[in-house]
Amino acid sequence: MDFRLNDDQLTLATALDRLADGYREKPIEFHGFALSAEGLDQDLSDAEFFDIATFPDLGPVAAALAVERLARLPYAAETALSMLVRPHLRGGTLPRPFALVENGQAGRFVAQARTLLIRTGETWEIAHPGSGDVTAVETIFAYPMGRLTGSVGRLPLSPAEAATVRRWVRVAIAAEAAGLIQAAIDSTVTHLSDRKQFGRPLGSFQALRHRMAECAVLVGGLHWLALRAAATADDGDAALAAFQAQDCGARVAYELHQMLGAMGMTLEHPLHLWTYRLKGLLSLMGGREAQAGAVGIHCFPSETQRNGHGAG
């Protein structure tokens, strides 16, 4: 599969990078978990970035690239579901921001959402909450978190719609995780290059170089799996991408925090703005184990049927 960007996609990537320039640095005075910027959301909306999956010659691959690039910013913005799920549901007309509520748990951007995707087991519903239906929740996940507390009206999704939502939520998880991991790696590389031990930069020690190389290989694989899933819209590809995201996410986060030592456990250093958001993705859609099962169902259906597993 040829993943070279066409001229329109290259132009979009340049415009997106230019828009993101004002949001690349963590404010010096910020020492919390969730760093948000209303201006970023408004800038993306004004430039119609949330609709790029529907534009000719751009499509879902460009949307996945945009999600990945925006996830590299220290600011948490609701982009993944809006750019990758919304265009494929009810004609792409549902109001954003979007948020995912799974089995009654707190979720990312729930307190700000105008459209909720509610998953209870294998049942999917849509809801449009009012201000009294959701409550903000404080967590360490570096996202604005919230919980659905009101008895909001719910519209059930058909089996076909539910399958579409499952597929594109998995692509969204993979694309966002790829950006978070890459930004965390870049931040760690800067630290290892600047910090010295025994008169040498930490990054010059072979053991650390090998571990960083392995992290780079993992995120590289995730990047291409996410793009492939966005290009093919295939359930198996989406499951593989989400599995890779959730399989390597915890491992890479552990490695990077260990390489930063005590500095990686402070709020002054920005690493947590990516790794703690990454942790918030690890349990979505049933987590790593559920994605492994979905890979078996969609990529190896004959073997899965022989072992008695159902659809997912």
Under 8 Å between Cβ of 241 and 229: yes
Under 8 Å between Cβ of 129 and 146: no
Under 8 Å between Cβ of 95 and 115: yes
- pLDDT of 290 strictly over 60: yes
- pLDDT of 311 strictly over 60: no
Residue 2 pLDDT class (50, 70, 90 cuts): low
Q: What is the rounded CA–CA span in Å between residue 31 and residue 35?
A: 9
Window from 104-118, 165-179, 209-223, 252-266 with minimum mean pLDDT: 252-266
Q: What is the rounded CA–CA span in Å between residue 256 and residue 104?
A: 32
Q: What is the pLDDT of residue 209?
A: 81
Window from 9-18, 20-29, 286-295, 300-309 with minimum mean pLDDT: 300-309
- pLDDT of 214 strictly over 60: yes
Q: What is the pLDDT of residue 310?
A: 53
pLDDT, mean of residues 268-274: 90
- For the residues of the chain, what is the DSSP string, one character each? ------HHHHHHHHHHHHHHGGGSS--TT--SS----HHHHHHHHHTTGGGGGGSTTTHHHHHHHHHHHHHTSSS----HHHHHTGGGSGGGTS-S-EEEEETT--EETGGG-SEEEEEETTEEEEE---TTTEEEE--SSSS-EEEE-S---EEEPPHHHHHHHHHHHHHHHHHHHHHHHHHHHHHHHHHHHH-EETTEEGGGSHHHHHHHHHHHHHHHHHHHHHHHHHHH--HHHHHHHHHHHHHHHHHHHHHHHHHHGGGGGSSSSTTHHHHHHHHHHTTGGGHHHHHHHHHHHHHSHHHHHHTT----
Radius of gyration from C-alpha coordinates of the chain? 19
- pLDDT of 198 strictly over 80: no
Specify which residues 123 forms β-bridges with: 120
The whole-model pTM stands at 0.92
Residue 219's closest CA among 163, 278, 296, 280? Answer: 278
- Reply yes or no: is the peptide bond before residue 74 cis, omega within 30 of 0: no
242: exposed, middle or buried (C-beta count within 10 Å: 0-12, 13-18, 19+)?
buried
pLDDT tens readout for residues 104-150: 999 999 999 999 999 998 899 999 999 899 999 999 999 999 999 98
Higher pLDDT residue, 6 or 96? 96
Residue 243 pLDDT class (50, 70, 90 cuts): very high
Tell me the backbone φ, ψ of residue 24, rounded to 5 degrees: -85, -20
Calculate the average pLDDT of the chain: 90
- Set out the domains of the chain in order of their start, with CATH numbers: 161-306 (1.20.140.10)
pLDDT tens readout for residues 33-84: 899 988 999 999 999 999 999 998 889 999 999 999 999 999 999 999 999 9
Q: What is the rounded CA–CA span in Å between residue 207 and residue 56?
A: 47
Q: What is the pLDDT of residue 131?
A: 84
